[in-house]
């Protein structure tokens, strides 16, 4: 029975039994969250989501019967308010942009520490976006993460791009002003101009735009 104090109803779709149990244990640490359904195949999990309308879906990218992207796309189309977190053992440099395009709120590489799932859930439940992967940039050394391949024009000045990155990273105007040695009023003016130029109204959409434009490391 669902605890009436629970604020987040989550569904997990993951075909690897041991990893599914590990994620269940991890999600059990999240305050006010209850897993109301767990599935090893995509179709059953998708049907459950469409019927029960949970608040959060955690879905593996590779499932035995259908692709996790297909699941995410159908869930997003039917349930625009749901938060969707993708987990995968097969990240690529194009994946963040592809997931953003269908409205996924974040993804976690299975090779990352399991606590990344906690960070991801905390971020997306608060309206943010979380993209963590060990994918390396082509020809790059070390653990540098690649930006998504630019697919849209960037109408911003260099200063506006700098501020857009900081806003998308979750920094407030006061913090940005101190970092860039600007007045808060100037930062706020830049923010308004940025939002107007790219046609968005909230930080989540700005973050999505920055990733798609290749301005933000994923």
Residue ranges covered by each domain of the chain: 8-132, 158-212
Each of the 218 residues of the chain gets a pLDDT tens digit; together they read 445 566 899 999 999 999 999 999 999 988 899 999 999 999 999 999 999 999 999 999 999 999 999 999 999 999 999 999 999 887 777 777 788 888 898 888 888 888 888 888 888 887 777 876 544 333 333 333 333 344 467 888 989 989 998 888 788 899 999 999 999 999 999 999 998 888 877 787 787 788 777 777 54
This prediction's pTM: 0.64
Give the pLDDT confidence score for residue 153 in this predicted structure: 72
User: What is the distance between the alpha carbons of residues 159 and 199, in angstroms, rounded to a whole number?
Assistant: 18
Per the CB < 8 A criterion, the answer to whether 36 and 10 are in contact is yes
Beta-bridged to residue 35, according to DSSP, are 10
- CATH fold of 158-212: Arc Repressor Mutant, subunit A (1.10.10)
169 CB-near residues (< 8 Å, 6+ apart): 216
Q: Which helix (H) or strand (E) holds 132?
A: strand 130-132
The position carrying tokens 């041991």 is 18
Domain 8-132, architecture per CATH? 3-Layer(aba) Sandwich (3.40)
């Amino acid at each position: 029975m669902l605890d009436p104090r629970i604020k987040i109803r989550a569904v997990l779709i993951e075909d690897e039994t041991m990893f599914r149990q590990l994620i269940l244990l991890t999600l059990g640490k999240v305050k006010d969250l209850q897993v109301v359904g767990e599935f090893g195949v995509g179709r059953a999990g998708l049907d459950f989501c469409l019927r029960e309308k949970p608040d959060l879906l955690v879905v593996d990218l590779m499932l035995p019967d259908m692709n996790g992207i297909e699941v995410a796309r159908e869930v997003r189309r039917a349930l625009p308010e749901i938060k969707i977190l993708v987990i995968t053992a097969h990240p690529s440099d194009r994946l963040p942009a592809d997931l953003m395009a269908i409205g996924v709120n974040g993804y976690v590489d299975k090779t990352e520490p399991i606590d990344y799932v906690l960070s991801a859930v905390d971020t997306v439940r608060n309206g943010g976006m979380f993209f963590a992967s060990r994918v390396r940039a082509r020809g790059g050394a070390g653990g540098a993460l690649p930006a998504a391949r630019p697919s849209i024009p960037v109408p911003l000045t260099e200063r506006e791009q700098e501020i857009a990155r900081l806003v998308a990273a979750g920094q407030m105007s006061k913090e940005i002003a101190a970092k860039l040695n600007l007045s808060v009023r100037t930062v706020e003016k830049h923010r308004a101009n940025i939002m107007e130029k790219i046609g968005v109204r909230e930080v989540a959409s700005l973050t999505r735009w920055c990733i798609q434009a290749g301005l933000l490391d994923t």
